[in-house]
Amino acid sequence: MKSLLRRQRNNKHVSIEPIGTLFPTLKNAEIFAAAAGAQRGRDYCDSFRVNPARILFGLFELAGHRRQPSKLLPVVQQAFRTAGTQLLGPLEINETEALSELCLQLNRSIIKVSSTAHPCPAFVGCYNENVGILSYFNAGHTPGLVKHTLDVSKLAATGLPLGLFTHGMNEASMIALQPGAAVVLVSRGVIVLSSKGEEFGLGRVTSVLQSSHAASAHGVCVSILHAAQNYSSTSTVEQGLTALALIRDTN
């Protein structure tokens, strides 16, 4: 992994780094995230274990809070980790109901610190290792992608971005991940990278995911960020680029 990242850094057009947070080790699965670009600090990506069977992960886009991303980040991080553990940690809970409540608490925390309404797109997922089920909400975020054996499906928005309305709700959904399935999240910065006025777009992310032979979550993230930056017509990426991948083992 380190040698691959070194080779990426030697290419002046690509600078891809693992997300600083320590992601958990999973049973029969792997999760990894990487970021690139001059403004990657405006994306908050995190994952942690809430109990022996569940891990929580999320990608929050703080770029809409241009005047106070540094003020918002610790609030989102604390609310995500504290409320996430409290709500998803107990063994006997309904995961989708707990995620909907987590969404509500995150939304209120963001509105409280922002004073005024500012959109904060977010994708939050809870993966249950014992049964291979992913529960999630997509608050106005770029659709998540799930690579199955034969195709790729989208995890579309389940509601509006966080930070807009005090009582804004997102109804959480769930999907079963078959052995070998891959879940991928990318930030808006990946989507809007352009070449001759045409965006990289979710369609090209999907194509990279479909054609990728990477067997690891790390490899999937790097292949997507590499392809996006190579597509861009500019030598410097101003947008924050983030990719997260969760892959279930084939056995």
- pLDDT (mean) for 50-61: 97
Task: Return the percentage of the chain with pLDDT > 70, whole number.
Answer: 86
CA distances to 43, 111, 180, 230, 248 from 235, in Å: 21, 36, 35, 9, 35
Residue 146 has pLDDT above 90, yes or no: yes
The string of pLDDT tens digits covering residues 162-199 is: 998 877 678 899 999 999 999 999 999 999 998 888 99
**Residue 215 pLDDT:** 84
Q: Provide the Cα torsion 153, 158, 183, 97; round to 10°.
A: -130
- pLDDT (mean) for 218-241: 82
- Report the chain's mean pLDDT, rounded to a whole number: 87
Cβ neighbours of residue 214 closer than 8 Å, sequence gap 6 or more: 220, 222, 223
Report the candidate in 76, 105, 102, 104 with the shortest Cα–Cα distance to residue 89. 102
- When computed from its CA atoms, the radius of gyration of the chain, rounded to whole angstroms, is 17
Which of helix, strand or coil describes residue 111? helix
Q: Which domains does the chain have, with CATH numbers?
A: 2-248 (3.60.40.10)
Higher pLDDT pick, 125 / 40: 125
DSSP string covering 154-186, please? EE---BPPBTS-TT-----EEEE--TT-EEEEE
The string of pLDDT tens digits covering residues 10-50 is: 444 557 888 877 899 999 999 999 998 755 557 899 999 99
Q: What are phi and psi of 224, to 5 degrees?
A: -70, -45
Q: Cβ–Cβ contacts within 10 Å for residue 167, how many?
A: 7
- pLDDT (mean) for 193-217: 92
**Residue 12 pLDDT:** 42
Supply angle C-alpha 9, 240, 4, rounded to 5: 25
**Residue 236 pLDDT:** 52
Q: Do 58 and 187 contact (CB within 8 A), yes or no?
A: no
Residue 207 to residue 210: CA distance in whole angstroms:
5
Where is 10: in which H helix or E strand?
A: helix 2-10
